[in-house]
């Protein structure tokens, strides 16, 4: 069978780079072979996007017409929702219910930015003396959107929908682990009436296709979601090229349980925060801080629930946790748990692969709780991106804030307490872009999202999510 083509200028294109395969992490089977974009293919994609973004058809399209196309992309995705969810499940192994939720979230993101596109305006400053000044917002031009494997469609939607609303052309480079859904979305967009060349997808490895895209002189901005190390490498190239970047990077987010919290609600929130998606979420609450007075009671409850969590095939509706997204990634997660053992960590639950024969061919790993370490341990400082929770005690609010902020990351934080004044104080003191109080992982497309410290630069979603893809121009008019 010939490799799956990617999508440029409104049509499928077979790349000239070396092919690669997508593998189902639940079974180890190959899903399909894919075509990869070489530097020459990237060149062709950028040329097509440049031509499309400068075309009168796109430049002069009224916002409400652009909004209608973006809304029709959402309709097309809704009509293909089952297939999009199945693709994600086959490629990153998340359980089917979660894949369906993520597809629904991606569709809602397109609908939100369609509405924003209709309402976006310019600003006029009243005449000072004898002139009028106006601020208009113009597109950047050609945007490169590079996305990770953990939530491929939602991450793509957060970039593509606002970049289209802002009038840009986009080239998406999805992760080589989850390359296919983006190709289907590009086809849906073409059918929705998006002019050829405005949304293109090139597949391939990060070090080849990704680097070629970031270095290409025709790309005017890079919007990246992925690991902090990769973000730093991309940021260096963009700094040299003097082009803007938006970087959504890794995290090591604290989930904090005070002694006055509703402990049952907190257990459920902590479990969802770390084990949903097998811990492969940028906002995973991977450091659990528990006040010493309730530490034993809380950890006992958490251990019982963790050991009862249904790990199974992602196709099974009863499964709450599927495999990790790839076999090399499971090796890495196992390696981090071994490091915790060597550092003197106490494995309270999990810490190994499941024993069921039915799961033996997949990249499964049990939900794992580790105690007995301090916040200085490597597993408390480094992002594991797996179902591994490090549990740390704290004495009082000051001790908690110092420990929680002792991290290079600053993406998210959960606070469980019945004291609303304390919730406010801690929310303001924690260095993170998103804070949840008595909840975890609630996200709204209307609320800006991004990281403090090494978790990123820039804010996606909301109105700021469109401004990211625009440049302001001041126009002065003699009156």
One of 91, 156, 176, 248 is an active-site residue; which one?
248
Residue nearest to ligand NAD (CB): 206
Tokens linked to 189: 């967009």
**Long-range contacts at 59-62 (CB < 8 A, ≥ 24 apart):** 59/167
Residue 445: which of 109, 75, 106 has the closest Cα?
109
CB closer to ligand NAD, 76 vs 462: 462
Q: Judged by CB under 6 A, which of 7, 149, 440, 469 binds ligand NAD? A: 149
Q: Judged by CB under 6 A, which of 76, 251, 314, 354 binds ligand NAD? A: 251
User: Is the separation of the CB atoms in 269 and 439 below 8 Å?
Assistant: yes
User: Is the separation of the CB atoms in 372 and 344 below 8 Å?
Assistant: yes
Q: What angle do CA 257, 258, 264 make, to 5 degrees?
A: 55
CB closer to ligand NAD, 173 vs 187: 173
Q: What angle do CA 375, 376, 379 make, to 5 degrees?
A: 75
Q: Judged by CB under 6 A, which of 9, 38, 102, 230 binds ligand NAD? A: 230
Q: How far apart are CA 342 and CA 338, in angstroms?
A: 6
The stretch among 4-12, 23-31, 118-126, 229-237 that binds ligand NAD (CB under 6 A) is: 229-237
Q: Judged by CB under 6 A, which of 393, 451, 462, 465 binds ligand NAD? A: 451
* 118 flagged as catalytic: no
Binding characters for ligand NAD, 28-57, by CB under 6 A (x = yes)? ------------------------------
H/E stretch holding 457: strand 456-457
Distances (CA, A) of 247 to 145, 179, 390: 10, 20, 26
User: Is the separation of the CB atoms in 308 and 270 below 8 Å?
Assistant: no
In whole angstroms, the minimum distance from the beta carbon of 252 to ligand NAD comes to 9
CB under 8 Å to 14, separation ≥6 — which residues?
2, 3, 5, 35
CB closer to ligand NAD, 9 vs 151: 151
In whole angstroms, the minimum distance from the beta carbon of 407 to ligand NAD comes to 13
In whole angstroms, the minimum distance from the beta carbon of 396 to ligand NAD comes to 30
**Residue 82: how many other CB atoms lie within 10 Å:** 12
Q: Judged by CB under 6 A, which of 225, 286, 407, 434 binds ligand NAD? A: 225
Residues 162-181 that bind ligand NAD (CB under 6 A): 173-176
Residues 275-294 that bind ligand NAD (CB under 6 A): 282
CB closer to ligand NAD, 149 vs 452: 149
User: For the chain, give me the number of helices (H) and strands (E)?
Assistant: 16, 22
Q: Which residues are catalytic?
A: 248
**Positions in the binding site for ligand NAD (CB under 6 A):** 146-151, 155, 173-176, 206-207, 210-211, 214, 225-227, 230, 233-234, 248-251, 282, 383, 385, 411, 451, 456
């Amino acid at each position: 069978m010939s490799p799956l083509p990617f999508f440029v200028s409104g049509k499928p294109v077979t790349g000239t780079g070396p092919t690669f395969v997508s593998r189902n992490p639940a079974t180890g089977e190959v899903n399909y072979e894919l075509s990869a974009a070489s530097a020459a293919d990237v060149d062709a994609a950028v040329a097509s996007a440049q031509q499309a973004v400068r075309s009168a058809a796109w430049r002069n399209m009224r916002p409400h017409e652009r909004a209608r196309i973006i809304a029709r992309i959402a309709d097309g995705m809704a009509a293909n929702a089952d297939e999009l969810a199945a693709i994600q499940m086959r490629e990153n192994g998340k359980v089917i219910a979660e894949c369906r939720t993520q597809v629904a979230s991606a569709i809602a993101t397109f609908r939100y930015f369609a509405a924003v596109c209709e309402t976006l305006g310019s600003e006029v400053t009243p005449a000072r003396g004898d002139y009028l000044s106006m601020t208009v917002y113009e597109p950047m031009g050609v945007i490169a959107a590079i996305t990770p494997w953990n939530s491929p469609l939602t991450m793509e939607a957060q970039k593509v929908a606002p970049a289209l609303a802002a009038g840009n052309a986009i080239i998406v480079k999805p992760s080589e682990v989850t390359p296919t859904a983006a190709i289907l979305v590009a086809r849906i967009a073409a059918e929705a009436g998006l002019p050829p060349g405005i949304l293109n997808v090139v597949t391939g490895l990060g070090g080849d296709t990704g680097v070629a895209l970031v270095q290409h002189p025709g790309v005017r901005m890079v919007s990246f979601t992925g690991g902090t190390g990769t973000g730093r490498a991309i940021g260096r190239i963009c700094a040299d090229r003097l082009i803007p970047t938006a970087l959504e990077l890794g995290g090591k987010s604290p989930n904090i349980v005070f002694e006055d919290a509703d402990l049952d609600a907190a257990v459920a929130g902590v479990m969802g925060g770390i084990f949903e998606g097998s811990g492969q979420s940028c906002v995973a609450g991977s450091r659990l801080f528990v006040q010493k007075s309730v530490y034993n009671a809380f950890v006992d409850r958490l251990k019982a629930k963790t050991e009862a969590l249904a790990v199974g095939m992602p196709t099974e509706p009863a499964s709450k946790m599927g495999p990790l997204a790839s076999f090399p990634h499971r090796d890495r997660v196992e390696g981090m748990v071994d490091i915790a053992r060597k550092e003197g960590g106490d494995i309270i639950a999990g810490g190994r692969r499941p024993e069921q024969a039915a799961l033996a061919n997949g990249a499964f790993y049990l939900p794992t709780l580790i105690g007995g370490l301090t916040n200085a341990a490597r597993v408390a400082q480094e992002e594991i991106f797996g179902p591994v929770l490090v549990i740390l005690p704290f004495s009082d609010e000051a001790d908690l804030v110092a420990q929680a902020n002792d991290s290079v990351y600053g993406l998210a934080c959960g606070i469980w307490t019945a004291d609303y004044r304390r919730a406010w104080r801690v929310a303001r003191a924690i260095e993170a872009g998103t804070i949840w109080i008595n909840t975890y992982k609630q996200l709204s497309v209307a609320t800006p999202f991004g990281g403090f410290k090494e978790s990123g630069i820039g804010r996606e979603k909301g109105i700021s999510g469109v401004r990211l893809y625009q440049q302001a121009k001041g126009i002065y008019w003699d009156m």
